[in-house]
Amino acid sequence: MDAHVDTVQFAIADIARHRLDPAAALDFVSDPGFGGIAMFVGKVRAQNLGREVVGVSYDMFDPLALAVFAQAAEEARALVGPRLKLHVSHAKGRLGVGDLAVVVAAGTPHRDEAFRACRLMIEKVKHQAPIWKQEHYLDGDSVWSEGCSLCEGHAHDHD
Amino acid sequence: MDAHVDTVQFAIADIARHRLDPAAALDFVSDPGFGGIAMFVGKVRAQNLGREVVGVSYDMFDPLALAVFAQAAEEARALVGPRLKLHVSHAKGRLGVGDLAVVVAAGTPHRDEAFRACRLMIEKVKHQAPIWKQEHYLDGDSVWSEGCSLCEGHAHDHD
Amino acid sequence: MKIELNLFGALRQYTPAAAVTLEVADDARVADVRTALRAHAEAYWPGFHSGLLARSAFASETTVLREGEPVPADGRMAVLPPVSGG
Amino acid sequence: MKIELNLFGALRQYTPAAAVTLEVADDARVADVRTALRAHAEAYWPGFHSGLLARSAFASETTVLREGEPVPADGRMAVLPPVSGG
């Protein structure tokens, strides 16, 4: 990451103190030489698998999450080339319906690279980063999501 | 479009009076039932085909542009289903480097549909909407971009 | 019939008004309008490149018109050079 | 050697501290730690589902560890149930 220190930005936002900021993400990945920015914003949904959700709590193993984001950024750079700026931020703590859970943004000279880099990053965040979601339901129950195993042979076993 | 009047938003922003607003686009396509929002933001680049660009002017045939956006929205709905909110806004007039030229946002329950709908919309904006870009160069020269012919048999002949 | 063509993009440079009024047969098709506009351009537009018109489409306010379609009843059309939005 | 395991996600529910200290052989591999944790869990965690541990990975602060890798020198590892970020 040292060689790309001004072109990648990762953040874990403890929602007791910080909010995710899509506008700041757009600003960060902007560049006079870039024409295309693709962004993904994940929000807490009011329903999941037929149950009424009132909120979610995200748990995270911070140092490894940041290492996974950095590795994903290297893969994105290998995929679309060096003219790339990336932002990844993920909320940690308890969120309500409609709150921002994750923001990914990718800026590149042209749009195809931006879409591909953005998609790669959100897939890594979803499938490989050590982040866990616990859903809180209207009936008072709470359940940890099933998720994707990080064990060998279990890669991408669940979406 | 009548049946989806609250779920699609199209705007032509005469930059003498209006600015494109990605945050407002995100808000518009948000919904308690939606977990994923994909957005594309196009900005004016400082270089194109090796020439130094100082600005661009966008010309537009407004009524047909809005009709093309509406038709594209119907195609997106056919592609990903009815649980979809879309925003498309495009600047008109003279822009400087780094200014926003286009914003497309798509909100859906899950991320794959959001990415696909967003990509479809920006491709339609680029290839089928009656919008023309004139680039202004550092040396004082101005040139209309080559573009995609809308004639029969010429579809997608240029990117 | 009298038709009014509004010009866009690179076609604007040929005439300050960005519009041309032409006379065509009452049963004219889009292809006939294209032929009439080409003749007008070759006569009155200095430096006109016919390749640009060949790649341009004709449209109403709601749709791109195919070559065999009749001219819209109100005689108003837009001439659209290759597009470059986004 | 003494190892300290930090627990995340659904594994947090089994112990208020979200951490477990175990004793393993000095040359223990990750697979040995998995075996030791399973024995501990079956002994001390009411309602423990072994399927969850089977699908959990062990990691240092910088990488997921494979089953055949040695325990990190500092004896600290994280136990990661299936992830569900985003």
Residue pLDDT tens, chain B, 159 long: 344 668 999 999 998 888 999 999 999 999 999 999 999 999 999 999 899 999 999 999 999 999 999 999 999 999 999 999 999 999 999 999 999 999 999 999 999 999 999 999 999 999 999 999 999 999 999 999 999 999 976 654 444
Percent of chain D with pLDDT over 90: 98
Are A137 and B148 in contact, with CB atoms under 8 Å apart? Answer: no
Mean pLDDT, residues C23-40 taken together: 98
Paired tokens of B9: 């938003």
Contact A39 B42 (CB under 8 A): no
Q: Which residues of C fall within a CB distance of 8 Å from B61?
A: 6, 8, 59, 61, 78, 80
**pLDDT grade, residue A79 (50/70/90)?**
very high
What's the pLDDT score for residue B4? 60
Adjacent-strand bridge partners of A89: A11, A103
Touching subunits of C (3+ CB pairs, under 8 Å) are: B
Contact A146 D57 (CB under 8 A): no
d(CA A143, CA A159): 16
d(CA C26, CA B68): 29
What's the pLDDT score for residue B90? 98
Contact D86 A90 (CB under 8 A): yes
Are B84 and B120 in contact, with CB atoms under 8 Å apart? Answer: no
- Say yes or no: A130 contacts chain B, CB-CB below 8 A: no
Superfamily the domain B5-43+61-131 falls into: Molybdopterin biosynthesis MoaE subunit (3.90.1170.40)
Tell me the pLDDT tens digit for each residue of D35-50.
Answer: 999 999 999 999 998 9
The sign of the CA dihedral B8, B13, B18, B22 is positive
Q: Which residues of D fall within a CB distance of 8 Å from A60?
A: 8, 85
Tell me the pLDDT tens digit for each residue of C39-84.
Answer: 999 999 999 989 999 999 999 999 999 999 999 999 999 999 999 9
**pLDDT grade, residue A6 (50/70/90)?**
confident
Domains and CATH numbers, chain D: 2-80 (3.10.20.30)
**Which H or E element spans position A87?**
strand A85-96
Nearest residue to D77 (alpha-carbon basis) of D25, D27, D26, D37 = D37
Please check the confidence at residue D86 and state whether its pLDDT lies above 80. yes
Mutate: best of A28, A37, A102, A135, partner B, most B CBs <10 A? A37
Nearest residue to B88 (alpha-carbon basis) of B15, B29, B5, B2 = B29
Predicted-complex ipTM score: 0.94
Please check the confidence at residue A9 and state whether its pLDDT lies above 60. yes
Please check the confidence at residue A153 and state whether its pLDDT lies above 90. no
Are B39 and B105 in contact, with CB atoms under 8 Å apart? Answer: yes
Contact C56 B145 (CB under 8 A): no
Paired tokens of B4: 């989806």
**B36-43 and B100-108 beta bridge pairing:** antiparallel
Q: List phi, psi (to 5°) of B66.
A: -65, -35
What's the pLDDT score for residue A69? 97
**pLDDT grade, residue A17 (50/70/90)?**
confident
- Say yes or no: B158 contacts chain A, CB-CB below 8 A: no
Paired tokens of A159: 């979406």
Are A67 and A139 in contact, with CB atoms under 8 Å apart? Answer: no
- Say yes or no: A50 contacts chain B, CB-CB below 8 A: no
d(CA B156, CA C9): 18
What's the pLDDT score for residue D20? 98
Paired tokens of A37: 């920015």
d(CA A89, CA A102): 6
Query: What residue has token string 């970020």?
Result: D85
- pTM (predicted TM-score): 0.94
